[in-house]
Amino acid sequence: FPSRQLSGKRVTITAGPTREAIDPVRYISNHSSGKMGYALAQAARDAGAQVTLISGPVNLDAPDRIQRIDVISAQDMYEAAMAQVQACDIFIATAAVSDFRVQNSHSQKIKKQDNSSAAMTLTLVENPDIIAAVANSTPKPFTVGFAAETQEVEEYARQKIKRKNLDMIVANDVSRIDIGFNSDNNAVTAIWGSGEATLEIASKHQIAKQLITLISDHYHNSTES
Ligand code: PMT
172 belongs to the catalytic site: no
Torsion of CA 60, 210, 166, 8, to 10 degrees: 80
What is residue 119's predicted lDDT score, i.e. its pLDDT?
A: 83
How would you classify the pairing of strands 185-192 and 168-173? antiparallel
Per-domain residue ranges for the chain? 10-101+121-224
Local confidence band at 224 (pLDDT 50, 70, 90 cut-offs): confident
- Give the tens place of pLDDT for each residue, 84-105: 999 999 999 999 999 999 999 9
User: Closest by alpha carbon to 20, among 112, 174, 124, 130?
Assistant: 124
pTM of the model: 0.96
| Beta-sheet pairing, 90-93 with 10-15 | parallel
- Residue of the CA atom closest to atom 33 of ligand 1: 97
The residues lining ligand 1, judged by C-beta closer than 6 Å to any ligand atom, are 14, 16, 32-36, 74, 93-97, 99, 127, 129-131, 145-148, 160, 172, 174, 180-182
CA distance 107 to 130: 26
Say if the ipTM goes beyond 0.95: yes
Architecture of domain 10-101+121-224: 3-Layer(aba) Sandwich (3.40)
